[in-house]
Amino acid sequence: MKSLALILSLAAFSSSATAASLPEVERPDFSDSSGVVTSLDSMIGHLEAAAEDGPSSWQVGRALGNCKEVRRTVAQWPGVGAYEARGAERLWEECKSTYDAVR
């Protein structure tokens, strides 16, 4: 009976682990703000899908909030003439770091 309980708990763990599996996201060309925003949108989309597919972990919520904030910030820079590739790269890396923690 204990073996059956162990097998069932391992099966439940493996299915929850695959539910949060996110695809790799390539680094964008940081000299192009629209490419950075597109990359952020991709990560946000994958995180939103992961949140809908199963029980949302605190890591998914944290990554989603962080990436949405980064996207909002980076997307407004070109409009005010403040886009800077190194700053966008640093913020993108922050988003990617929390995204990778979910993967």
- The per-residue pLDDT for range 15-63, each reduced to its tens digit, is 444 345 899 999 999 999 999 999 999 999 999 998 887 666 888 999 9
**Global confidence as pTM:** 0.77
pLDDT at 76 over 70: yes
pLDDT at 8 over 60: no
Give 91 or 59, the one with higher predicted confidence.
91
Cβ-based burial of 89 (10 A; exposed 0-12, middle 13-18, buried ≥19)? middle
DSSP annotation string for 50-102? HHHHSPPPHHHHHHHHHHHHHHHHHHHTGGGT---HHHHHHHHHHHHHHHHHH
pLDDT at 82 over 60: yes
